[in-house]
Amino acid sequence: MKLGIVGSRRRNLPKDKELIRQKIIELKPDSLVSGGCRRGADRFAEELAIELHLPIEIFRPNLKGNPTPTRYDMIKAFYARNQQVAIASDRLIALVAPDRKGGTEHTIGVFNRIHRWDCEIL
């Protein structure tokens, strides 16, 4: 099982990383999937993949070939990355922000449309 790990950059505390660690241990995935952000759940996924000796597939936003991307270009690239994470994952865990806005919510929505809900909100 490929476990997608996503979350708000605002959920960047050691207790958030520990929540993800416990879920990985509980679910026993074959590999992890992440969006490659340098903060929050994506970073935790990369660190935990190393610590727990799990392969990880990382999807980063594709902004290559665009030296001065507009805000629209960036949003489009991030949403495309979120879709890749959702498609590649068999299950998803999400560290959501209190206001439930942004890319994490987009990834949850895409995942739920594809997989008919196997997402756990933390």
The CATH number covering residue 40 comes to 3.40.50.450
**H or E segment and range at residue 93:** strand 91-95
Burial grade of 78 (CB within 10 A; 0-12, 13-18, 19 or more): buried
Task: Please give the pLDDT value at position 65.
Answer: 77
pLDDT given for residue 122 in this prediction = 73
Domain count, the chain: 1
pTM: 0.90
**pLDDT tens by residue, the chain, 122 residues:** 999 999 998 999 999 999 999 999 999 999 999 999 999 999 999 999 999 999 999 999 998 877 788 989 889 999 999 999 999 999 999 999 888 777 898 999 999 998 876 677 87
- Give the domain range for residue 92: 2-121
- d(CA 109, CA 104) in angstroms, rounded, equals 9
Q: Which amino acid is at 3?
A: L
**Which pLDDT score is estimated for 118?**
67
